[in-house]
Amino acid sequence: MCGRYAASVQTDRLIEIFGTEGGPRRDPEPEATGPTDWTRSRWNIAPTDVVPSILERQRDGQVVRRLEGLRWGLVPSWSTSAATGARMINARLETVTTKPSFKRAFAARRCLLPADGYYEWYPATAAGRAYKQPFYIHPHEGLMAMAGIYEFWRDPRHGPDDGWLVSCAIITTAASDDLGRIHDRMPVQVAPDDWDAWLDPALTDSGKARQLVHVPLPGEMTAHAVSTRVNRVGNDGPDLVVPIAEAS
């Protein structure tokens, strides 16, 4: 799974990279519990945080690409509570086209979730004490465009025009051999040449959309151990991704 990640690229640079129109936009999030200042650099993003996302929507008869803040943890439109999102931070590529919670979003509401890299934990022992060692996993260079889906949910306690929550999930698959020793799952990505097709709301053929995802090949990503400070959600800063050997 992917349960924590870093996204430090400034919004003006994201606008340039992904070719979005206008500045950051955020829809109302009545149930958001994590940090809502999603436009700042962060190195310890956790479930229920509002995260930067690239998506395309019909506005005034035209398809517009936007940089928006979505809450991480997908809440299906039919859910009775936004709390279900905390358990739906990831969608498995193997079942995303068939699982009721995700299949409608995958067919029509796909997004890109920019990231520097993500964290996974591996069981370890030191001085006779068992603990989980965090690893930071990232491309050798450049930005990750993680494949995501998003959904609209309305809080029934609000009126028909209020209380809307827009949430997202990261699509994951089996980890490549070199990363599987740390964790058996990893996020899938979308290559730049496929961004337009992936984001296109007119592409509703799930089979064709599934062909657009990129599963990183062995050697495409790299990993190194980092401080256990990342275990605490309240900790943040670029020091969290520094290799232990360099930080000591």
Q: Catalytic site residues?
A: 2, 120
- Alpha carbon of 165 to those of 77, 84, 129, 243: distances in Å? 10, 13, 42, 37
* Whole-number Å distance between alpha carbons of 87 and 193: 32
Question: Are 185 and 125 contacting, i.e. CB atoms less than 8 angstroms apart?
Answer: no
